Amino acid sequence: MQRGSEGPLEVDLSELSGRSYRCIENCALCCLCQPELLPDEEARFRADPRLAEGVTDRHISSEVKGAALKLRGAHGSCWFLAGRRCRIYGDRPHFCRAFPVSVFVGWRVQLNANLSCRGIGLPGERLEDVGKGLLEEYGDSRLRDELKAAGRVFSDFVKNCREAWVAQSFSSLRDAGRALGDELMDGIGLSRVLTYAETGRTAQNSPARDIVKKVRRTEPEADIEERALIDGTELFDLHDLSLLPIYLDENLTWRIFRLVGRKIVGYELAEDGGTKETSSTDPDEVELLPMGAGAKEAMKEYLGTVNSRDCFLGHAAYLCDSENYDYNLAQVYLGALANNALDLWWRASFLAHLKGKDSLGRPEVREGIVFFDMDLLDLPTIGAFI
């Protein structure tokens, strides 16, 4: 908590606390995410011919407006990466200096750790110090301005929910998510939550225990294996390679997967966007693998992190709004949590399948998280990453 001229500014650093980090030489995973330039950075980049050659007005995501760094080729790494080294390291933009920490502004400021970064957990800098450094850089008045703008969006959202009789307190959503932790790692439990998300009419402002009771009384009608297969296959069914999820494997090879006909084809990705085919998998052969105790523990810890992320709550709010407030917020929130648990389970199973494994332990779930977290933090949300 920091104190400013207008009272306390609420800052949540809990996701960073206790974690350390060291950047891994030759990783450069974050150099595959096209960095946006802040307005003052854009001016600095455009004024220097060496930096200006890497600036573009086009971002791979049509949602992102403004200046960004070019990619090498249509879907390669950042323009300035060569031999997995940054050619402008001392001048790299804010996005690159902040990674793997991100600052989300909603009804408060919350800092998140991008768990796709393999440097997290290595001895090195304390992530909390990295986060505090970023907040210092932003300064109190910018954070307050961002909070005012995001706070208005959240207030409008809550007002819309109340008018549609679908509101829930944020704490009841999180308490329900926590109470359902075991169900989210089990086929029947996931089926119950997903069926509840579609059919479980819930009264506005229900306490968490009533929401949980409703979920547990729901007949599990959703076919989890079928959903996992459809969602897992759709994940790779994109024509534009730059939009495909990236997996940085244990040997620091960048991997992408794409649906070609009825096969999921794996490629090694090069800096210039070149691809080399390395695997071909029949998606029908990928099953949700059974989880051992270590896998369940890792999954539960991770889902606990997701459940406490404000950007994830903002994502549920975004979904609720795009579904015209037709569903109670508890249904939308728990449905999103279950869909993400299923996505992670499927990705961990897919990667384990490629290695010929038939069950998941903690290391396999960890690989799933490396493959998944970057995409989760990229989901559309109300509020803003700054």
Q: Which is nearer to ligand SF4, 23 or 38 (CB)?
A: 23
- What sign for the dihedral angle of Cα 115, 117, 120, 121? positive
CA dihedral 165, 380, 105, 340 (to 10 degrees): 80
Min CB(77)–ligand SF4 separation in Å: 7
Q: Which is nearer to ligand SF4, 28 or 235 (CB)?
A: 28
DSSP result, 12-62: E-TTTTT-EE-PPTT--GGGGS--B--HHHHHHHHHSHHHHTTEES--SST
- CA-nearest of 142, 157, 64, 148 to 382 is 157
Min CB(1)–ligand SF4 separation in Å: 28
Min CB(272)–ligand SF4 separation in Å: 13
239 sits in which H/E element? none
Min CB(132)–ligand SF4 separation in Å: 18
Beta carbons within 8 Å of 321's beta carbon, 6+ residues apart: 157, 160, 382
**Where do contacts with ligand SF4 occur on this chain (CB under 6 A)?**
23-24, 27-31, 35, 69, 78, 80-81, 86, 88, 92, 96, 99-100, 117-119
Q: Which is nearer to ligand SF4, 26 or 324 (CB)?
A: 26
CA pair distance 333, 40, nearest whole angstrom = 37
Q: Which amino acid is at 339?
A: N
Q: How do beta strands 109-113 and 11-12 pair?
A: parallel
Min CB(86)–ligand SF4 separation in Å: 3
Q: Which is nearer to ligand SF4, 80 or 333 (CB)?
A: 80
Q: Which is nearer to ligand SF4, 68 or 365 (CB)?
A: 68
Min CB(2)–ligand SF4 separation in Å: 26
Min CB(31)–ligand SF4 separation in Å: 3
Cis amide bond preceding 100, omega within 30: yes
Structure tokens belonging to residue 266:
């794996």
Q: Which is nearer to ligand SF4, 37 or 316 (CB)?
A: 37
Q: Which is nearer to ligand SF4, 117 or 298 (CB)?
A: 117
